[in-house]
Amino acid sequence: MKKKIFSGVQPTGNLHLGNYLGAIKNFVELNNDEENKCIFCVVDLHAITVKQNPKELRSNIRETVATFLASGIDANKSIIFNQSTVSAHSEAAWVLGCVARTGWLNRMTQFKEKAGKDKEKASLGLYSYPVLMAADILLYDSTHVPVGNDQKQHLELCRDIAQKFNIDFAADNFFKVPEPLIQKDFSRIMSLKDGLKKMSKSDLSDFSRINLTDDEDQIISKIKKSKTDTLPLPNNFNELENRPEAKNLLGIYSSLKNSDLEKTIKNFAGKNFSEFKENLSQELVDKIGPISLEIKKLLGDKGYLDKILSNGFEKANEIATKKMKNIREIVGF
């Protein structure tokens, strides 16, 4: 059976190494396998759960498409589209929101983190965010969803919603219950300034992350300034305990090299950070440098990026509209 892959990325700017190693790199590998049918969505409806500048949002949507393409996703072998153009996503989200229980949503740690101390001031959209995510996935009968570790709980919620809908409406197997695809080792890339904090677009310090649009000099200077500890590099995995920054940097290197962590540890055992950082910078410049240049090139041809999105819209809309018609019938509209 062909795998039906679906994933989404928010067009909120500053796409970074965490997005690349945790998700997009995996999208490219899945997309290269002829057996898979892949759909990659620019989730602008999710983006507006926190305030966005409309002009920047429009430009970030194109930049996300450019990042997909520059990273190696082939638009001829996948569907790339913009979520808000397919109205079935909003419609399905409402129906699924009537299936999901508030008790389930109250447990979502990402909402708690993003809403911060003053939950009453968070938007209703931010709270129901995972329901919209379930709509995205379920409309396409997706079987597999590649994401970083931070989306695991949302995927579990999506599975619960699918199962409850199928039971509530006696619609056996109507919604396919999707499997998350989360990489084993490098699914959570941490900040370059704090190995206990996730690398994130919203971190105020640009030195906390490598942006996919960073140039060679920026990459080298960010790695040079990245936080480390005072010990030499460890001799084995156990010695990484309580050394989050060392673990993160060694993990990034391994992931870029498609190698396992044990092997990387062995290669750099007992060396000092400055030597390791030179190797890491080189690897980043080799892998991220060309992506950064290609993103900038693609952004010069807005018409081409818009064409990719309009082709993607046609295909995605056809699939989603059909599924939505069935949802409407099942629900009794």
Q: Does position 208 bind ligand TYM by CB under 6 A?
A: no
* DSSP letter for each residue of 155-224: HHHHHHHHHHHHHHTT-TTSS--PEEE--SSSS-PBPSS-TTSB--TT-S-GGGS-BTT--HHHHHHHHH
Task: Determine, following the binding rule CB under 6 A, whether residue 8 of this chain makes contact with ligand TYM.
Answer: yes
Please give the residues from 99 up to 138 whose contact with ligand TYM meets the rule CB under 6 A.
Answer: 133, 136-137
Both tokens of 192, joined, read: 């370059």
Q: Does 143 bind ligand TYM (CB under 6 A)?
A: no
Cα→Cα distances 309→81, 253, 304, 312, 316, Å = 5, 33, 9, 5, 10
Residue 22 binding ligand TYM, by CB under 6 A? yes
Q: Confirm if 154 and 133 have CB atoms less than 8 A apart.
A: yes
Q: Measured from the CB of residue 305, what is the shortest distance to ligand TYM in angstroms?
A: 18
- 166-184 as b/e, with b when 16 or more CB fall inside 10 Å? beeeeeeebbbebebbbbe
Instruction: For residue 150, state whether it binds ligand TYM (rule: CB under 6 A).
Output: yes
Within residues 273-332, the interface with ligand TYM by CB under 6 A covers none
Cβ within 8 Å of residue 52, ≥6 positions away: 12
CB of 128 or CB of 151, closer to ligand TYM: 151
Q: Is 93 in the site for ligand TYM (CB under 6 A)?
A: no
Q: Which is nearer to ligand TYM, 195 or 234 (CB)?
A: 195
By CB under 6 A, name the one of 4, 5, 9, 288 that touches ligand TYM: 9
Q: Cα–Cα distance between 95 and 327 in angstroms, integer?
A: 8
For ligand TYM, the binding residues in 164-193 under the rule CB under 6 A are 187-189
CB 21 within 8 A of CB 249: no
Residue 38's H or E segment, with its range, is strand 37-42
Which of 4, 5, 7, 81 is close enough to bind ligand TYM by CB under 6 A? 7
Catalytic residue numbers, as ranges: 114, 198, 201
Q: Is residue 222 close enough to count as binding ligand TYM by CB under 6 A?
A: no
Q: Is the CB of 18 or the CB of 234 nearer to ligand TYM?
A: 18
Q: Which of 39, 66, 127, 148 binds ligand TYM (CB under 6 A)?
A: 148
Cβ 17 to ligand TYM shortest distance, Å? 8
Is 37 a binding residue for ligand TYM by CB under 6 A? The answer is: no
For residue 107, give the amino acid letter.
R
State the amino acid at position 72 in one-letter form.
Answer: G
How many residues make contact with ligand TYM (CB under 6 A)? Answer: 24
43 binds ligand TYM per the rule CB under 6 A: yes
Could you say which DSSP state residue 16 is in?
B
SS3 245: helix
State the residue number with the nearest CB to ligand TYM: 22
**Minimum CB separation from ligand TYM for residue 121, in Å?**
20
Q: Give the β-pairing of 78-82 and 4-9.
A: unpaired
Residue 218, CA distances (Å) to 187, 198, 207 in order: 24, 20, 9
Tell me which of 10, 67, 248, 254 binds ligand TYM, using CB under 6 A.
10
| Interacting residues toward ligand TYM by CB under 6 A | 6-10, 18-19, 22-23, 43, 46, 133, 136-137, 145, 147-148, 150-151, 187-189, 198-199
